[in-house]
């Protein structure tokens, strides 16, 4: 806790550490606010294109400054050299940890809104958040993998394997034909945790419809998304939700 003093220079070590951590927090929020406002004024796709340029420049600037100050090396893009020295197995564990942190962050936001307002408002915020995050994630994956604009079912299957969820949930794919893909969430971290506590499935269908349809159409605008089943729908023990994607 910060001491109640007039000047930051008079804070003790613990207080200054809290100031440093809060500085990171403000940078993250400010970054998100910039993205949100650019999307509002210029459109989502323009905002994603601009954000791509901003990230490439900002990461290098920020990480080099911190690296010089704290004594860790970064490459020309600002990526820590120590990260590049990890084995593939270690990097998979890092990605899994990031996926769990991402999901935990999502859950904390949901519970905070539910506690302070109500469940309906939390679900509304959650569903709206997916209208922005899911296409953003699809665009990032599309650029990371250099997927074609209209890559069809093969591109969609590949992209689904790079989502944040892909490291922490079990998924299955069935390519019915060259135009149709059935995707199933075999094990869902959120629903499995509820099951262990004796709770019913979380009714995530409204969010899932937004999430999967916007993701798929961002990968290929010709894609139609159909919900086979998703809580609160009944589903077999073998999976929690299933979706059919058809291109063309």
H/E/C letters for each residue in the chain?
A: CCCCCCCHHHCCHHHHHHHHHHHHHHHHHHHHHHHHHHHHHHCHHHHHHHHHHHHHHHHHHHHHHHHHHHCCCECCCCCEHHHHCCCHHHHHHHHHHHHHHHHHHHHHHHHHHHHHCCHHHHHHHHHHHHHHHHHHHHHHHHHHCCCCCCCHHHHHHHHHCCCHHHHCCEEEEEEEECCEEEEEEEECHHHHHHHHCCCCCCCCHHHHHHHHHHHHHHHCCCEEEEEEECCCCCCCCCCCEEEEEEEC
Instruction: Give pLDDT tens digits for 24-73.
Output: 999 999 999 999 999 999 999 999 999 999 999 999 999 999 999 999 99
Domains identified in the chain, total number? 2
Domain assignment of residue 40, yes or no: yes
Domain assignment of residue 32, yes or no: yes
Burial of 127 (0-12, 13-18, 19+ CB in 10 A): middle
| Domain shared by 159 and 211, yes or no | yes
What's the pLDDT score for residue 13?
86
What's the pLDDT score for residue 238?
95
Q: Domain containing 53: what range?
A: 13-85
Dihedral pair phi/psi, residue 73, rounded to 5°: -85, 145
What's the pLDDT score for residue 8?
82
| Domain shared by 134 and 73, yes or no | no
Domain assignment of residue 191, yes or no: yes
Q: What is the mean pLDDT of the chain?
A: 94
Domain assignment of residue 190, yes or no: yes
Dihedral pair phi/psi, residue 100, rounded to 5°: -65, -40
Last residue of a domain, one of 57, 85, 113: 85
Domain assignment of residue 158, yes or no: yes
What's the pLDDT score for residue 125?
96
Checking if the pLDDT of 161 tops 70, the result is yes
Residue 6: which pLDDT band, with cuts at 50, 70 and 90?
A: low
What's the pLDDT score for residue 9?
85
| Domain shared by 60 and 146, yes or no | no
Checking if the pLDDT of 149 tops 70, the result is yes
Which of 218, 59, 55, 42 lies closest to 132 in space, CA to CA? 218
Instruction: Give me the count of residues in the chain.
Output: 248
Domain assignment of residue 180, yes or no: yes
Residue 3: which pLDDT band, with cuts at 50, 70 and 90?
A: low
| Domain shared by 133 and 235, yes or no | yes
Query: Mean pLDDT throughout 135-161?
Result: 96
**pTM, rounded to two decimals:** 0.91
Domain assignment of residue 51, yes or no: yes
| Domain shared by 154 and 66, yes or no | no
Domain assignment of residue 220, yes or no: yes
């Amino acid at each position: 806790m910060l001491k109640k003093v007039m000047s930051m220079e008079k804070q003790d070590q613990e207080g200054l550490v809290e100031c440093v951590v809060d500085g990171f927090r403000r940078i993250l929020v400010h970054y998100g606010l910039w993205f949100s406002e650019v999307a509002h004024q210029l459109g989502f796709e323009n905002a994603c294109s601009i954000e791509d340029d901003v990230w490439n420049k900002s990461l290098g600037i920020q990480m080099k400054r911190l690296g010089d100050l704290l004594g860790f090396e970064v490459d020309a893009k600002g990526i820590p050299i120590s990260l590049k020295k990890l084995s593939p197995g270690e990097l998979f564990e890092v990605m899994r940890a990031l996926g769990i942190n991402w999901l935990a962050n999502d859950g904390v936001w949901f519970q905070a809104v539910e506690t302070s307002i109500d469940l309906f408002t939390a679900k509304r915020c959650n569903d709206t958040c997916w209208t922005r995050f899911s296409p953003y994630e699809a665009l990032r994956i599309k650029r990371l993998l250099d997927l074609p604009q209209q890559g069809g079912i093969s591109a969609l299957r590949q992209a689904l394997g790079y989502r944040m969820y892909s490291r922490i949930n079990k998924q299955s794919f069935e390519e019915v034909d060259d135009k149709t893909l059935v995707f199933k969430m075999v094990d869902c971290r959120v629903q499995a945790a509820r099951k262990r506590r004796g709770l019913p499935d979380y009714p995530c269908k409204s969010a899932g419809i937004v999430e999967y349809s916007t993701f798929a159409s961002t990968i290929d605008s010709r894609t139609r998304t159909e919900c086979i089943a998703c809580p609160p729908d009944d589903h077999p023990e073998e999976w929690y939700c299933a979706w059919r994607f058809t291109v063309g």
